[in-house]
Chains A and B, each alone.
Chain A
Amino acid sequence: MYFPIADVFGNRSFQKKVTVSGYVKDRETGEMLVGATIVIKGTGKGTVTNVYGYFSIEIEGENQILQFGFLGYKNLEKEVGESSVITVELEPITQELGEVKIKGEGNVHSSRYPLIGLEKMESSSIRTIPVLMGETDPMKAIQMLPGVSATSEGSSNFTVRGGNPDQNLLLMDEAIVYNAGHLLGFFSVFNNDAVKSIDLYKGDFPASEGGRLSSVLDVHTKEGNMKKVKGSAGIGLISSRLNLEGPVVKDKSSFFVSGRRSYLDLFLPLAPDEEIHDNKLYFYDANLKFNWIVNEKNRIFLSSYIGRDVFSDKLAQLDYGNTTFTFRWNHVFSPSLFANFTLVRSRYDYFLGTTENDIDDLEWVSQFNDYMLGADFSWYINPSQTFRFGNRTIYHRIDPGDVSAMDENSLIQSIKLPRNNSLEHGIYISHTSEVVPWLVLRLGLRYSLFQNIGKGKLFKFDDSYNVVDTIYYSSGEIFNEYHGLEPRAGVSILFSSRWSAKLSYSRTRQYIQLASNSTSSTPLDVWFPSSPNVKPQVADQVSLGLFHSSRNRVFENSVEFFNKWMENTIDFKDHPDLILNETIESEVRQGKAWARGFEIMSRWNTIRFNGWVGYTFLKSERVAPDINQGRPYLSHYDHTHDLSAFMNYRISSRVSVSGNWVYYTGAPVTMPVGRYEVSGESVPLYSERNGERMPDYHRLDLSLTLRSKKGGKKGGEWIFSIYNVYGRKNAWAINFVSDEENPYKIRAEKTYLFSVVPSVSYKFEF
């Protein structure tokens, strides 16, 4: 390892300093490259581009050479003398065999970046993973990573390190997504065609983010081609998709539009049951984006997501969906001070109504509205030191439920659960410094403040959770506050260019949670915030990671240990009443939780082969009053062993095959230990919550990708895939039923959703 002695004594400070800043882009599309590395040749010092593709680096001495690199792109060297603002365009390596070797040379710097528990995935690699019904889904791709798994078979919902699904912060272009499922959660709202990249933080959260205990899933959508108009379309079993992107003014502004709609409902008239022929059953969504480079110092992004699911039959209709709108303004105050200002509106709502054309027809509406204002600053002092600071303020406005008659003459009066208003603020500062070339330190501090504001209605409960008093607050009145510091710290040590270790600590606070005790959320679940009756959830996590890469960086291996302590975690009493319940807080039981374990990941990346094997060992426990008689019990998401393997093999430039295999220990469930009879009804008797386990889960999926002669960049692409190749009947639910011949005999019956599911999808560009 190279130690520049001069640095240590600061001798070079006499030399001339220049600051080079600017953007790194894709040469063909003009899309910003996030996380591209910039290294001062010969020094090993460098920086990476931020989420907007911006970098700033201070250089000592004249005529230095900067090396720009990004995985999958050709490296580029540029000599710089004076302080300047530059735009660097990197050329993507076309995926032809025998061409340039794809190597992560650019990654020299990445092992030094002290974030552990961070996983990055690009839209293009997500596409190679075989999935259910061929419907590429970023949420299902991340379930393949260690520490992450699906909440139940086929679900796009995920759990991180045994935490609840509502402990994941889902961000789409900085807008929080509150219900990420389509079709009861089997598919996610993230359309992979519109996704550029996703970052999943499961250990060391960046100081800028907070509000959830388990993870932050940061999804960036595509900005649109700045050079030329392009389009693509895809057809699959579940949905078809259309994407269009291009410049409005070349190299100045661009748009991206992506839409998809499912067409399951088209097959309903073929169903044997005539009653369902007129049913509706579909979802659609659209991603819209516009970005405009005003000048060297200013850039504006507008992005929006609109999605909806619609189900109806002769009795009732249900529709629900998310709408988000994000406005972002990048401003470069000086080459070393970069700022981003964000304005977000995010909304989730559902409508449930009867369709009987009866005087008693009802409609039931629930809405969740979020307004967020944020500012983030990056101050690049020198290549060894960066400060980031900023703030976020979110206004949550929740209308949990409003049921009213559709007919004016109806005698039915409306019932309306009171609106709930709250504010969530966070300010943060973080500092990354290269203390010595082999030691990088990242210190962050976040301070969060939560306020319940009027107009509001607060219930006071006695020890048995009966309402003893009701207090009304007037509009704008702050009637409750919680606040606290959330320190984050990380240290990276480079033992050599191939070995490094990272240690991190983070504290997070969660002020809003989902009222659901099922293992997979339904569209009807509502979020509820902290209040005088519900304390904020707090988590402390320590992780230690060890990283190794082979000499040519074909293999990258890591092992990471984590230990997590959580307080005031949310659970619900036995048989809770969570729907349309004004006093839902009386159903909450807050307790403690722990999770510990380790994750092993081995990735390899050669011209023909790429893939990974991830293994997780996990123990996740909870305790809460009144639940399991106050004794600790396992989390439903405690999968002791969880193994995911993915492999992609390129047979030729036009043909590739992929496969993945998933295995995890069956989820803990509560099973009866006896039964008894009361008033003609057989009643099960349970001993311990989650004391037994479902059968172990495993599954193999395969896919074959065929590209047309023009290659991967242009033209068509067929993907044939088989989900659950060997037809493992994984139990989705276990129920107990009476034997038909002997009603006294009770038998266990499992329900499984999918046996072998073949699918085909086609995508082409134009």
Chain B
Amino acid sequence: MDGSKNAYIVRHRLDFKNKFTDCSIGVMLFLKNLSFCLLLFFSSCTEYIDIELETTSKRLVVEGMVMSDQEYHYVRLTQSIPFLSDTISPPVSGATVMLSDGDRNEYLSESDEYPGYYISLGGIVGQPGKTYSLFISEVDINGDGEDEVYSASCYMPSVTQPDSIRIVYDDSWEVWKVLLYAKDNPDTDDYYLFRIFKNRTLISDRLGEYSVVSDQFFDGGVANGVWVQSIADSEDHEVFSVGDVITLQMCGITKEYFEFIEAVQEENRFRYPLFSGPPANAEGNITNGGLGFFAAFSAKYATFEFDETNLVK
């Protein structure tokens, strides 16, 4: 195998910054135990406090995806809200949204059922190697009576077909590990996003459940059982049953999107002075002060079916 795996595991397991701060996953038992011992001794406690935060002016939030081999794409527009607000982000309706692949343009139409969602009708099919652009106009987020214009563009990298995946249970970390067998181009810097489907249903649907990996962990272009995703064990230890089909979606993404996902994940962890640097904004790719990300990515799949033998922990 290669140095990639081990660096990845080191990062996966022992990186203080990622693991100490992410108690909820339960994969940093070591540091949790250590901190437990210390904090038990130090009688540390938590308590709600009231603090007042300043509020910035409203900003447009864009969440858009163009995927390879897909005809239908969506863009969701919302507004940012005060940090301590207990409302949900209000949708932005009535905007003009145009998608372009450099050759063709298509106006997206807003869904009647879900305000703020703008859907394409098949005019543009996602194709690796193309750069996609998004243009948003006729919105007035800051309420000054004048419309604002936003845009974003993203290159769609290609991705190779993974050879296979394997799923094994890890006692120590109490998770099912998804191991990847694949090759990639050793001459390019590639970034991957991994999502999991269980029986055709996406189970890693929240950004916090995405797993992103850079190919510096596929040394020499070979991934020989690299741990790329995890499925948490449930309370009753019966997450899977015979016949369950697990599909790994392997997506080729840009470095910018990779960094955006890492940043969002880091911003959602607990912070402690020992391990955390200063918080910072997740840098998106929307112009004119817009937030969020317009991502283009290509996807390939590999599946794994549980039978009696591999269900054993």
Please give the residue numbers on chain A whose beta carbons come within 8 Å of chain B beta carbons, in ascending order. Answer: 151-154, 183-186, 264, 267-268, 271, 273, 275-276, 279, 281, 311, 313-316, 318, 352, 354, 356, 360, 362, 364, 403-405, 411-415, 517-520, 522, 524, 572, 574-576, 579-580, 636, 669-687, 689-692, 695, 729, 731-736, 739, 742, 744-755, 757
Give 30 A-B contacts (CB < 8 Å), ordered by A residue. Answer: A152-B273, A183-B38, A271-B37, A276-B36, A279-B37, A281-B34, A314-B172, A356-B172, A412-B3, A518-B17, A520-B273, A670-B279, A673-B82, A674-B56, A675-B81, A676-B89, A679-B206, A681-B207, A683-B264, A684-B279, A685-B83, A686-B280, A733-B271, A735-B270, A748-B50, A749-B46, A749-B48, A750-B46, A750-B49, A752-B46
Do residues A678 and B55 form an inter-chain contact, with CB atoms below 8 A? no
**Assembly CA distance A184 to B39 (angstroms):** 12
Do residues A579 and B1 form an inter-chain contact, with CB atoms below 8 A? no
Chain A contacts for B89, CB-based, 8 A: 676-677
Chain B contacts for A356, CB-based, 8 A: 172
Do residues B47 and A517 form an inter-chain contact, with CB atoms below 8 A? no
Question: Which residue of B is nearest A757, CB measured?
Answer: B43
Q: Is B78 an interface residue (CB 8 A)?
A: yes
**Assembly CA distance A479 to B7 (angstroms):** 29
Chain A contacts for B38, CB-based, 8 A: 183-184, 186, 281
Give me the 5 closest cross-chain CB pairs, A-B, nearest first: A574-B280, A411-B1, A517-B277, A680-B206, A679-B207
**Assembly CA distance A685 to B283 (angstroms):** 10
Question: Which residue of B is nearest A183, CB measured?
Answer: B38
Most A CB within 10 A of own CB, among B2, B16, B30, B39 = B30
**Assembly CA distance A574 to B55 (angstroms):** 21
Do residues A518 and B275 form an inter-chain contact, with CB atoms below 8 A? yes
**Assembly CA distance A110 to B42 (angstroms):** 42
Do residues A753 and B44 form an inter-chain contact, with CB atoms below 8 A? yes
Interface 1/0s, chain B 62-78, versus A by CB < 8 A? 01000000000000001
Question: Which residue of A is nearest B1, CB measured?
Answer: A411
Give the residue of B11, B87, B268, B276 whose beta carbon is less than 8 angstroms from that of A580. Answer: B11
**Assembly CA distance A314 to B173 (angstroms):** 11
Evaluate whether A276 and B33 lie within 8 angstroms (CB atoms) in the complex, with A271-B40, A685-B59 already known.
Answer: yes
Q: Is B114 an interface residue (CB 8 A)?
A: no
CB distance from B219 to the nearest CB of A (A): 7
Chain A contacts for B55, CB-based, 8 A: 673-674
Give the residue of B1, B56, B63 whose beta carbon is less than 8 angstroms from that of A687. Answer: B56
CB distance from A40 to the nearest CB of B (A): 54
Chain A contacts for B39, CB-based, 8 A: 753
Do residues A636 and B47 form an inter-chain contact, with CB atoms below 8 A? no
The number of A-B residue pairs with CB atoms under 8 Å apart is: 265
CB distance from B134 to the nearest CB of A (A): 15
Chain B contacts for A755, CB-based, 8 A: 43, 45
Chain A contacts for B22, CB-based, 8 A: none
Do residues B13 and A689 form an inter-chain contact, with CB atoms below 8 A? no
**Assembly CA distance A750 to B130 (angstroms):** 48
Evaluate whether A522 and B274 lie within 8 angstroms (CB atoms) in the complex, with A672-B83, A673-B83 already known.
Answer: yes
Q: Is B15 an interface residue (CB 8 A)?
A: yes
Question: Which residue of B is nearest A628, CB measured?
Answer: B280
Name the interface residues of B118-152: CB closer than 8 Å to any CB of A: none
**Assembly CA distance A679 to B33 (angstroms):** 32
Chain A contacts for B298, CB-based, 8 A: none
Chain B contacts for A673, CB-based, 8 A: 53-56, 82-83
Chain A contacts for B205, CB-based, 8 A: 679-680
Do residues A752 and B78 form an inter-chain contact, with CB atoms below 8 A? no
Chain B contacts for A268, CB-based, 8 A: 37
Chain A contacts for B276, CB-based, 8 A: 518
Do residues A313 and B6 form an inter-chain contact, with CB atoms below 8 A? no
Interface 1/0s, chain B 1-29, versus A by CB < 8 A? 11101110111011111000000000001
Give the residue of A580, A674, A732 whose beta carbon is less than 8 angstroms from that of B272. Answer: A732
**Assembly CA distance A671 to B278 (angstroms):** 10
Give the residue of A315, A679, A682, A689 whose beta carbon is less than 8 angstroms from that of B280. Answer: A689
Chain B contacts for A354, CB-based, 8 A: 13
Q: Is B259 an interface residue (CB 8 A)?
A: yes
Chain A contacts for B186, CB-based, 8 A: none
**Assembly CA distance A731 to B271 (angstroms):** 12
Do residues B10 and A677 form an inter-chain contact, with CB atoms below 8 A? no
Do residues A674 and B278 form an inter-chain contact, with CB atoms below 8 A? no
CB distance from A705 to the nearest CB of B (A): 24
Question: Which residue of B is nearest A577, CB measured?
Answer: B262
Chain A contacts for B192, CB-based, 8 A: none
CB distance from B152 to the nearest CB of A (A): 13
**Assembly CA distance A412 to B227 (angstroms):** 13
Do residues A275 and B33 form an inter-chain contact, with CB atoms below 8 A? yes
Tier of interface size on chain B? 35 or more
Do residues A676 and B61 form an inter-chain contact, with CB atoms below 8 A? yes
Q: Is B312 an interface residue (CB 8 A)?
A: no
- A574-B283, A674-B82, A754-B43 are known; give 5 further A-B pairs, CB within 8 A: A313-B34, A315-B30, A676-B79, A676-B80, A685-B83
CB distance from A30 to the nearest CB of B (A): 40
Chain B contacts for A687, CB-based, 8 A: 54, 56
Do residues B78 and A676 form an inter-chain contact, with CB atoms below 8 A? yes
CB distance from A637 to the nearest CB of B (A): 12
Q: Is B266 an interface residue (CB 8 A)?
A: yes
**Assembly CA distance A371 to B24 (angstroms):** 44
Q: Is B112 an interface residue (CB 8 A)?
A: no
Do residues B281 and A574 form an inter-chain contact, with CB atoms below 8 A? yes
Evaluate whether A580 and B7 lie within 8 angstroms (CB atoms) in the complex, with A575-B266, A674-B55, A679-B206 already known.
Answer: yes
Chain A contacts for B156, CB-based, 8 A: none
CB distance from B264 to the nearest CB of A (A): 5
CB distance from B10 to the nearest CB of A (A): 5
Do residues A412 and B84 form an inter-chain contact, with CB atoms below 8 A? no
Evaluate whether A575 and B259 lie within 8 angstroms (CB atoms) in the complex, with A271-B40, A413-B2 already known.
Answer: yes
Do residues A572 and B277 form an inter-chain contact, with CB atoms below 8 A? yes
Chain A contacts for B291, CB-based, 8 A: 676, 678, 683, 685
Give the residue of A264, A681, A757 whose beta carbon is less than 8 angstroms from that of B268. Answer: A681
Chain B contacts for A362, CB-based, 8 A: 6, 9-10
Do residues B13 and A316 form an inter-chain contact, with CB atoms below 8 A? yes
CB distance from A264 to the nearest CB of B (A): 6
Do residues B40 and A575 form an inter-chain contact, with CB atoms below 8 A? no
Most A CB within 10 A of own CB, among B11, B83, B282, B292 = B83
**Assembly CA distance A411 to B219 (angstroms):** 13
Do residues A748 and B51 form an inter-chain contact, with CB atoms below 8 A? yes
Chain B contacts for A183, CB-based, 8 A: 38
Do residues B274 and A674 form an inter-chain contact, with CB atoms below 8 A? no
Do residues B11 and A579 form an inter-chain contact, with CB atoms below 8 A? yes
CB distance from A515 to the nearest CB of B (A): 11
Evaluate whether A670 and B3 lie within 8 angstroms (CB atoms) in the complex, with A524-B16, A575-B259, A732-B273 already known.
Answer: no
Give the residue of A517, A574, A736 whose beta carbon is less than 8 angstroms from that of B263. Answer: A574
**Assembly CA distance A698 to B198 (angstroms):** 53
Do residues B59 and A522 form an inter-chain contact, with CB atoms below 8 A? no
CB distance from A577 to the nearest CB of B (A): 9
Chain A contacts for B86, CB-based, 8 A: 739, 742, 744-746
Evaluate whether A522 and B81 lie within 8 angstroms (CB atoms) in the complex, with A674-B59, A685-B291, A731-B49 already known.
Answer: no
**Assembly CA distance A519 to B279 (angstroms):** 12
Do residues A754 and B36 form an inter-chain contact, with CB atoms below 8 A? no
**Assembly CA distance A635 to B125 (angstroms):** 50
Do residues A752 and B45 form an inter-chain contact, with CB atoms below 8 A? yes
Do residues A676 and B274 form an inter-chain contact, with CB atoms below 8 A? no
CB distance from B224 to the nearest CB of A (A): 7
Give the residue of A518, A580, A748 whose beta carbon is less than 8 angstroms from that of B10. Answer: A580
Chain A contacts for B6, CB-based, 8 A: 360, 362, 403-405, 412-415
Chain B contacts for A678, CB-based, 8 A: 61, 63, 207, 264, 291-293
**Assembly CA distance A250 to B5 (angstroms):** 62
Do residues B80 and A518 form an inter-chain contact, with CB atoms below 8 A? no
